[in-house]
Chain A
Amino acid sequence: GAVVSQHPSWVICKSGTSVKIECRSLDFQATTMFWYRQFPKQSLMLMATSNEGSKATYEQGVEKDKFLINHASLTLSTLTVTSAHPEDSSFYICSAREPSGRAFNEQFFGPGTRLTVL
Chain B
Amino acid sequence: QKEVEQNSGPLSVPEGAIASLNCTYSDRGSQSFFWYRQYSGKSPELIMFIYSNGDKEDGRFTAQLNKASQYVSLLIRDSQPSDSATYLCAVDPQGAQKLVFGQGTRLTINP
**Residue positions of A touching B, CB distance < 8 A:** 32, 34, 42-44, 46, 49, 91, 93, 102-112
Contacts and interface: CB of A to CB of B under 8 A. Distances in A.
Interface in B19-46: 31-32, 34, 36, 41-46
B32 A44 contact: no
A34 B92 CA distance: 14
Given A44-B88, A103-B32, A108 B99 contact: no
B88 A110 contact: no
A111 B101 contact: no
A32 B97 contact: yes
Contact of A102 (B31, B36, B49): B49
Given A103-B34, A104-B31, A111 B42 contact: yes
Interface string B39-80: 001111110010100000000000000000000000000000
Nearest to A46: B98
Contacts, number: 53
Consensus secondary structure, chain A interface: loop
Interface residues of B, number: 22
B20 to A, nearest CB: 20
A42 B43 CA distance: 13
Contact of B43 (A102, A105, A110): A110
B44 A105 contact: no
B103 A42 contact: yes
A104 to B, nearest CB: 7
B62 to A, nearest CB: 17
A94 to B, nearest CB: 9
B43 to A, nearest CB: 4
Given A43-B88, A44-B101, A49-B97, A106 B43 contact: no
A34 B98 contact: yes
Interface in B67-111: 88, 92, 97-104
